[in-house]
């Protein structure tokens, strides 16, 4: 672990509604917002998600076209026995969230009617957007 002194210019945003501070290490990343979530100028349709049926469940790929704070996949809304292994994920514009071999949604039952299940495609917004 190391402690770094950062120049004040990095910690004083020009547009606090539209800027975040990102600190990244070898295997971790921290995103700091300068304002509370409702005050952020988040874009509508900040992300897209696509669900694909795979053996033993579904794979859900997400791509952020804008800053996306605390994305949550509520898998049990898709099917009662569904599980996900990642919650409250923050993505920067251009970031994909592509599950690895042990990531994604595992569902033993068919999706509930009206849910975006296999082959489903969804666009969404983040906290702070309308």
Q: What is the pLDDT of residues 15-58, one digit of tens each?
A: 999 999 998 888 888 899 999 989 999 888 899 988 888 887 77
DSSP string, the chain: ----PPPHHHHS-SSTTT-EEEEE-SS-EEEEESS-GGGS-PPTT-EEEEEEEETTEEEEEEEESS-EEEE---GGGT-TT-EES--SEEE-TT-EE---TT-SEE-SSPPPTTS--TT-EEEE--TT--
What percent of the chain shows pLDDT beyond 70? 75
21 and 37, same domain (yes or no): yes
Per the domain annotation, does 24 fall within a domain?
A: yes
pTM over 0.85: no
The number of domains in the chain is 2
Checking if the pLDDT of 4 tops 90, the result is no
Domain of 100? 42-124
8 and 47, same domain (yes or no): no
75 and 19, same domain (yes or no): no
Task: Tell me the pLDDT band of 82, cut-offs 50, 70 and 90.
Answer: confident
């Amino acid at each position: 672990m190391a402690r770094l002194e950062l120049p004040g210019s990095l910690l004083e945003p020009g547009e606090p509604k539209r800027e975040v501070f990102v600190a990244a290490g070898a295997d971790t990343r921290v995103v700091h917002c300068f304002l509370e979530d409702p005050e952020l100028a988040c874009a509508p349709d900040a992300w897209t998600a696509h669900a694909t049926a795979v053996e033993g469940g579904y794979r859900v790929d997400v791509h952020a076209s804008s800053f996306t704070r605390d994305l949550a996949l509520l898998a049990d809304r898709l099917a009662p026995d569904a599980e996900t292994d990642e919650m409250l994920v923050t993505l920067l514009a251009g970031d994909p969230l592509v599950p690895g071999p042990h990531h994604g949604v595992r569902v033993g039952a068919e999706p509930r009617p009206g849910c975006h299940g296999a082959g489903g495609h969804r666009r969404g917004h983040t906290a702070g957007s309308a």
